[in-house]
Structures are given as structure tokens and as C-alpha cells.
Amino acid sequence: MIETGLWPVFLFPNPKATAMRISASRVVVASLLGLIGASAVHASCSTTDRSEQVALVLCSANTDQAALKAAGMAACKDKKVCNAWIWEDASKLPPKAPAIDKDLPKSAAGAARAVWIHDSQHLMELRKAR
């Protein structure tokens, strides 16, 4: 710091170091904005029930793929083997999560919008065959 009489002037010895500090600040701000955006994205989804391997998630209609992934990850966050079944219609959702996927009623499985497969970190969107 150099005293100029009115205001202290800070000298950065290396302009590249200054640019790196500014770039790092931008990354931190972008990361924080991303976290804020991610929490807002899956705010339209909620986990209704969970067993050891299956989570039931309800999302609002027309939820985007990023929000479905975030909701699935949140529902399975502390499980190694977990599949999060995601619906957009509460009336199609089973009242209780089964112990394993194959015990999910066929009518409920057929009405699901997507399944988050946690161990492979993959979202499988389901569509009706015509």
C-alpha cells in the first residue's frame, strides 16, 4: 500500500494474479448462483415416502429434466442403492414406498413420469407407448 496523501493505493505486483483473483471471484459467485438456482429448481418436488431402496417423489406438472434429477438425487442422497420414482399426479402415487421396485403396483409404475437411478446417476424418463 502506498500513501498518496488522500487515498491509499493498493499495488498488485502481478497483473496476472489480479486477473486470477477476479476470475476466482466470478467462479465463486457463479457457483453460489447455481446453488440458489438448483434449490429453486427442485422446490416444486417433494419426497412423499422412502424405503431402503425406493423413494416416491411428487413433482408439479411439466417439471424440467434438471429439476427431476435434483429431486431424485435429494430423495436418494444418503442411500447407495436407491431408485426414486417420480410422478406428476398425486392420485397415481402409491401411499407407501415398497421395499423393492418390483413390488410397485403396475398401475403406479405405468403412471410414473421418470425414475432416478441413484447408483448410476441416471434419469430415465418414461413415456407411454402408442
- The pTM of the full predicted model, rounded to 2 decimals, is 0.66
Is the separation of the CB atoms in 116 and 76 below 8 Å? Answer: yes
pLDDT of residue 60: 95
Mean pLDDT of residues grouped by 10 in the chain (130 residues)? Answer: 52 49 39 40 81 96 94 94 96 96 95 96 87
pLDDT at position 7 is: 52
- What does the CA dihedral 91, 95, 96, 98 come to, rounded to 10 degrees? -50
Per-residue model confidence (pLDDT) at position 125 = 94
Beta bridge partners of 8: 3
Q: Report the C-alpha gap between 109 and 85 in whole angstroms.
A: 8
Taking Cα atoms as reference points, which of 111, 72, 105, 70 lies closest to residue 89? 111
Query: Quick one: pLDDT at residue 103?
Result: 97
